[in-house]
Amino acid sequence: MLLHYAQNSRAVRVAWLLEELNLPYTIKKYKLGDKEMREESYKKLNPLGRVPTLEDDELIISESGAIIQYIISKYGNNQFIPEINSKEYPSYLQWFHYAEGMIMPQMNIIVVETIFLPPEKRNEVNLARANKLLSKMLDVVEKNMENKNYLTGEFSAADMMTGHAVIMSKNLGIDFSNKPFLETYIKRLLERPALKKAWSLWLSKKLKKLNFWCNELINFFTIKTHIIWQMTFQ
């Protein structure tokens, strides 16, 4: 499989699932707004010139939710989705679609008004309304997460969709000071190795190597400091 991927995009959701399932895949990396995504060669794959797009042999599919449903149906072996007759299944469907139905429309407005548009064309009324509505949408998720580890109890593809949207809302600067359950939820998701890998795919090999050696140095000095402390005070 070939995943067309950009940093901080919905393509992270697809990479996350592929990593959770331990499926082999390769990526084609872009920057958001990359001219290459607007070229005819890419528009043959995705007419809107967006990511994610997945190529699986002769099949080409876009839209993160559709891709995730396709992968789970074909390769998931009943993982990350409740049994269809279970009491959790309707809740799973609701939270799977909540990301694109409720959270992302407001996020899109915020991104346009704060990043894509030049200052003279921005609309503060639109921005304030989107921030207010997004906070309300997140409050619903906050209420659901009380006494839960994941949206439907067990970790599922709904967390890859709406959980990712919640994380992106936080990254966008939305106030989470009154959302303690979402704060904990975000931390829990970010601890998953598959998501860490999915989010780091944009790093070049050189940056990954640099990051590795930085971590090695931190570990070295941590151990050395601990040894010195033991020799000095024990």
**pLDDT band at 225, cuts 50/70/90?**
very low
Q: Which two tokens stand for residue 28?
A: 């084609």
Domain with CATH 1.20.1050.10 in the chain: 88-192
The pLDDT value recorded for residue 70 is 98
**pLDDT band at 215, cuts 50/70/90?**
low
The pLDDT value recorded for residue 216 is 55
Task: Using DSSP, state whether 175 is helix, strand or coil.
Answer: coil
The pLDDT value recorded for residue 217 is 56
Which tens digit of pLDDT belongs to each residue from 135-188?
Answer: 999 999 999 999 999 999 999 999 999 999 999 999 999 999 999 999 999 999
Q: What is the CATH number that goes with domain 88-192?
A: 1.20.1050.10
The class (CATH top level) of 2-75 is: alpha beta
Among candidate residues 54, 70, 61, the one with its CA nearest the CA of residue 15? 54
Q: Which two tokens stand for residue 154?
A: 């067990």
Q: Which two tokens stand for residue 66?
A: 């559709």
CA distances from 129 to 93, 104, 124 (A): 27, 14, 8
Percent of the chain residues past pLDDT 90, beyond the cut: 82
Domain with CATH 3.40.30.10 in the chain: 2-75
The pLDDT value recorded for residue 140 is 98
Q: Give the C-alpha separation, 175 to 169, whole Å.
A: 9
